[in-house]
Structure 1
């Protein structure tokens, strides 16, 4: 069975659960600052909220893909990540430089278990 949690627009889910697998995507909520660190902190907080909504938490993340608009700012995102991540259960993580829809400069995709 697939359970979908509604997002802010009717064509996007905030999170999806299939059996014990949780998938979610987050960007910083509006209003968005131009700071990579601040957007990363806010997006990670939304990941926490979405995981909790699905009965999970960051210690159960299997993998994460972080999309950022400027790889020169990766250290700012890494600082936010290192402050947030469960160091006892660090997930696999990839970071890719991509074009994102402004004003967002970071987007995080997470796969976790319940």
Structure 2
């Protein structure tokens, strides 16, 4: 069994991993910028980097779960998401849920499963 892992700067976790042709990643805004639009942009840029590290990309996304600290921000997040995800051929199965993200500054976390290229 060969699992490749991309360590996180947080102890005890990886930002991405791959196994058997699948890539798994989690994204967040490492800078904890002000506002959901900026945090979404930063999280998606972080996701692009982590997916590349496990030989994948947004065009290979299969499943995405977006966690928001406040569901009233979903419309603003969706604006950024839709611009980033691109054409319909890139659209993964996606869910968005409200969650306590553990602090007052983290507004979004994104968890994905993708195919490797």
TM range, smaller chain: over 0.9
Matches within 5 A, 1:1-114: 1-30=2-31, 32-87=32-87, 88-102=89-103, 103-114=105-116
Unpaired runs of 5+ residues, structure 2, are none
Unpaired runs of 5+ residues, structure 1, are none
For the aligned residue pairs, the C-alpha RMSD in angstroms reads: 1.0
> CA–CA distance in 2 between the matches of 1:70 and 1:28?
16
TM-score, with structure 2 as normaliser: 0.92
Q: Following TM superposition, by how much is the alpha carbon of 1:10 offset from its aligned partner in structure 2, in angstroms?
A: 3.0
> CA–CA distance in 2 between the matches of 1:52 and 1:92?
20
TM-score, with structure 1 as normaliser: 0.94
Residues paired across the two proteins, number: 113
**What whole-Å deviation, never above 9, does each CA across 1:30-62 have from its counterpart, x for those lacking one?**
2x2230111011101111000111111100000
> CA–CA distance in 1 between the matches of 2:15 and 2:110?
12
